[in-house]
Structure 1
Amino acid sequence: MAAAETPAEAPAATSALRTYPIAPGVRLNVRSGPGTQYGIVRVLPEGSRVLVYCQTPGTWVSGYYGTSNIWDNISNGEFVSDAYVYTGSDGYIAPRCL
């Protein structure tokens, strides 16, 4: 979950969003863009849950939940590989990022 959400985010816009757990036993790298070539901006601790605002294709990653090129936008300028997030789907579960 984003530590500091902007006040401009209306409750109605976020009410449809739900959180998803990251893979058990994983400390997940959060990157500045949708790929492993982007810098790590922080690390999520084990047991974290994330809001997925939108998703976008990026570099392929093999992780706990398979291999995927889908990257989840969890905050402004913060992305995690969907291969480590349990969404219940191998495909997109949120709108594509613009």
Structure 2
Amino acid sequence: MVMGSPVAASAATSYPIAPGYSVNVRSGPGTGYSVVRVLPTGSNVPIFCQRPGETVSGPYGTSNIWDNIANGEYVADVYVKTGSDGYVAPRCA
């Protein structure tokens, strides 16, 4: 399945980014990975899968969970309002 196809997009739930934050999207699950783009304030993101990575702190606590929002694009879960401190999507392969 190709990311971004209608089938893949409908399979992921969309979640809001923390109000008032623009969030770096990185090429991997940690701040040592390059920034590929920045999500503007008020963005919503799909979560296709989640994986453990660098532990970071944000408006929703401290966690090592990183959300895969597109092919090769990750955001720290502590900036995404998922309603959970744990995993809300399958683990990335």
Both structures adopt the same fold (TM-score exceeding 0.5): yes
The match for 2:74 is 79
Deviation for aligned residue 1:16: 3.5
TM-score normalised by length of structure 2: 0.92
Q: Give the one of 8, 15, 24 matched to 2:19.
A: 24
Q: What does residue 63 of structure 2 align with?
A: 68
Q: How many residues align?
A: 91
Identity across the alignment (%): 66
- Choose the corresponding residue for 1:38, options 27, 33, 41: 33
Work out the CA distance in 1 between the residues paired with 2:76 and 2:26: 9
TM-score by length of 1: 0.87
Q: Give me the CA root mean square deviation.
A: 1.4
Q: Aligned partners of 2:11, 2:73: CA distance in 1, in Å?
A: 20
| Bigger fraction of residues in strand | 2
- How far off its partner does 1:10 sit? 5.2
Amino acid at match of 2:59: Y
Quick check: 1:59 aligned with 2:22? Answer: no
Q: Unmatched 5+ residue regions in structure 1?
A: none
How far 1:14 moved relative to its partner?
3.7
